[in-house]
Amino acid sequence: MLKGKTSLITGASRGIGKGIAEVFAKNGSNIAFTFASSVEKAKAFEEELSAKYGVKVKGYQSDASDYNAAMALADQVVADFGSIDVLINNAGITRDTLLMRMSEEQWDEVINTNLKSTFNLTKACLKTFLKNRAGSIINMSSIVGLTGNAGQSNYAASKAGMIGFTKSMAKELGSRNVRCNAIAPGFIETEMTASLDADVKKQWIDTIPLKRGGSTDDVANACLFLASDMSTYITGQTLNVCGGMVI
Ligand code: NAP
């Protein structure tokens, strides 16, 4: 479904990003991916993916919250791959605590890594998308951005911000055939959620109509649809991938 395309995925050394890279490579896309600190994991993944699917794969250590680094990254990816067709703003972190205890640093870290990064990378790739008169941008939000969550005011604000940004990009870029959509995953089994204790996990799962946590493949398949020509008339939307948790 993505044969010959190049996809840039932030935060793909593990978790959802890694799952997306795998499904996209399987569908013929060349993969440029970023990570923050997992140098060894990223190198191993790069080699594994290109050997398995015969596509070009390159990992870049690049802090998505850093504007200048994002600009340099997009230029480097275009130099290495020739172009960028799909951008997935997936890199994200949590620093959960009640507002009463939240430090300014915890607020800034989450907003910069989750929301500012989306501005940084989208702006960095824009020149290429406008030149190509084509592009698909997918922003990894969260259902918490729709519902809010006690103890996650920084995270929920960043994810709600991504949805507002997505809708604005759809309106700004639609006339140039550049689409922008968001995915709002619910409870997905990754390292980010592995640290939750069993009781909290059970409480989440009890509220899900499909009675299970999602897999990285569940999210990756939704991304595949939004990245591919199967969704050429879809922009500005938020697709909830949450087993029916939010309806
Ligand atoms: P994860 O397992 O913690 O992986 C996060 C990825 O982001 C890693 O590759 C990490 O790189 C990278 N990263 C972190 N900070 C970065 C930075 N400043 N610059 C570049 N890369 C950075 O997380 P996940 O569960 O896969 O989540 C992925 C996305 O989905 C996030 O945006 C998250 O908010 C969203 N989401 C997740 C869930 C869920 O249930 N898991 C639900 C809703 C939304 P390193 O390995 O180098 O640290």
Q: What is the pLDDT of residues 122-172, one digit of tens each?
A: 999 999 999 999 999 999 999 999 999 999 999 999 999 999 999 999 999
| Annotation marks residue 155 as catalytic | yes
Mean pLDDT of 11-24: 98
| Ligand 1 centroid, distance to 83 Cα (angstroms) | 24
| Ligand 1 centroid, distance to 175 Cα (angstroms) | 31
pLDDT of residue 193 exceeding 90: no
Nearest CA-CA partner of 182 in 157, 146, 134: 146
pLDDT of residue 9 exceeding 90: yes
> Which residues does a 6 A CB cutoff place in the pocket of ligand 1?
10-17, 34-38, 63-65, 90-93, 113-114, 140, 142, 185, 187-188, 190-193
pLDDT of residue 195 exceeding 90: no
Q: Which residue has the higher pLDDT, 222 or 191?
A: 222
Residue nearest to atom 25 of ligand 1 (CA): 192
Confidence of residue 223 (pLDDT cuts 50, 70, 90): very high
Burial annotation 32-65 (CB, 10 A radius, 16+ → b, else e) = bbbbbebeeebeebbeebbeebebbbbbbebbbb
